[in-house]
């Protein structure tokens, strides 16, 4: 009986040791899985290219909004004022979305208005009316051509080679897709670029149209000057 009692105790100790061993093994596996998950998430960090692109886009967006506010105050043409309001609305929205992406993915934000836009702002501060309209819309065409080019570097587009060479915008926004990447952060940034590109392309098309209208109005004014008609034939 004494022997049987000792055997039972030995078996119980053995079972406890086995359970503890299994528990440690399970914990080790779980810890290993968590570490692996953390490692995977940690690998999805923003690259220098992502950081530079995000801050460049944020900087340009800030400048567009500042210039648009100035245009609402100094422009003469209703078309220019309407365009400026569109800039404020659309670039503010796009900027907020990009800031959210940057915050979610721990992308350091250090967006500052660059010297080019500062110089443009200084130049536009010294003009009003028709002269402001001309300078502002010319800058909007140039600036949005640069923005479209930057955004297109992050997307894949179902466009013909001819359209790519001429810069023709895709008629269907669904033709614009984010450039694929194995990096989750880069994918998020590219998706933003694909979402925003059609809007910026519409801005560029509208800026060109308004600039042409202004140029046409200026030519018409010059053509009627000195004809004996009363002053003030310009719509400005």
Note the pTM of the prediction, 2 decimals. 0.71
Rg of the Cα atoms in the chain: 31
7 compared with 181, residue with greater pLDDT? 181
Mean pLDDT of 90-105: 97
Quote the CA–CA distance of 136 and 124 in Å, as a whole number.
7
Domain 48-224 = CATH 3.30.110.60: no
Confidence check: pLDDT of 183 > 70: yes
27 compared with 100, residue with greater pLDDT? 100
What pLDDT band is residue 175 in, cutting at 50, 70 and 90? confident
Cβ contact 63:119 at 8 Å: no
- Tell me the pLDDT tens digit for each residue of 13-35: 444 445 444 444 444 333 333 33
Confidence check: pLDDT of 1 > 80: no
Q: Is 158 left (phi over 0), alpha (psi -120 to 50) or beta?
A: beta
Inter-helix orientation angle 48-74/129-152, to 10°: 160
Confidence check: pLDDT of 51 > 90: yes
What pLDDT band is residue 220 in, cutting at 50, 70 and 90? low
Confidence check: pLDDT of 203 > 50: yes
User: Structure tokens of 86?
Assistant: 């569109």
CB-based burial, 159-193: b 16+ in 10 Å, e otherwise: beeeeeeeeebbeeeeebebbebebebbebbbbbb
Confidence check: pLDDT of 88 > 70: yes
Lowest mean pLDDT, pick from 45-49, 63-67, 103-107, 183-187: 45-49
Cβ contact 156:180 at 8 Å: yes
pLDDT at 169: 61
**Which pairs count as long-range contacts for 189-195, CB under 8 Å and 24+ apart, including other chains?**
189/46, 189/50, 189/53, 189/54, 189/101, 189/154, 190/154, 190/155, 192/94, 192/97, 192/98, 192/101, 193/151, 193/154, 193/155, 194/154, 194/155, 195/97
pLDDT at 163: 65
pLDDT at 174: 57
């Amino acid at each position: 009986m004494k022997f049987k009692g000792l055997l039972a105790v030995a078996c119980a100790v053995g079972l406890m040791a086995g359970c503890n061993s299994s528990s440690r093994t399970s914990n080790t596996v779980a810890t290993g899985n968590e570490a692996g998950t953390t490692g995977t998430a940690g690998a999805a960090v923003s690259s220098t290219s992502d950081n530079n692109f995000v801050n460049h886009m944020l900087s340009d967006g800030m400048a567009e909004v500042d210039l648009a506010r100035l245009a609402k105050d100094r422009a003469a043409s209703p078309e220019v004022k309407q365009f400026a309001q569109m800039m404020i609305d659309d670039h503010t929205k796009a900027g907020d979305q990009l800031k959210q992406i940057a915050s979610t993915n721990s992308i350091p934000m250090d967006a500052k208005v660059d010297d080019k836009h500062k110089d443009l702002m200084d130049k536009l501060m010294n003009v009003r009316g028709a002269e402001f309209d001309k300078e502002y819309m010319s800058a909007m065409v140039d600036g949005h051509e640069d923005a479209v080019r930057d955004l297109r570097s992050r997307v894949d587009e179902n466009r013909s080679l001819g359209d790519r060479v001429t810069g023709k915008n895709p008629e269907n926004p669904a033709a614009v897709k984010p450039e694929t990447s194995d990096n989750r952060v880069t994918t998020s940034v590219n998706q933003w670029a694909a979402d925003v590109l059609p809007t910026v392309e519409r801005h560029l098309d509208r800026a060109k149209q308004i600039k042409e209208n202004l140029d046409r109005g200026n030519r018409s004014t010059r053509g009627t000057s000195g004809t004996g008609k009363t002053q003030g034939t310009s719509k400005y």
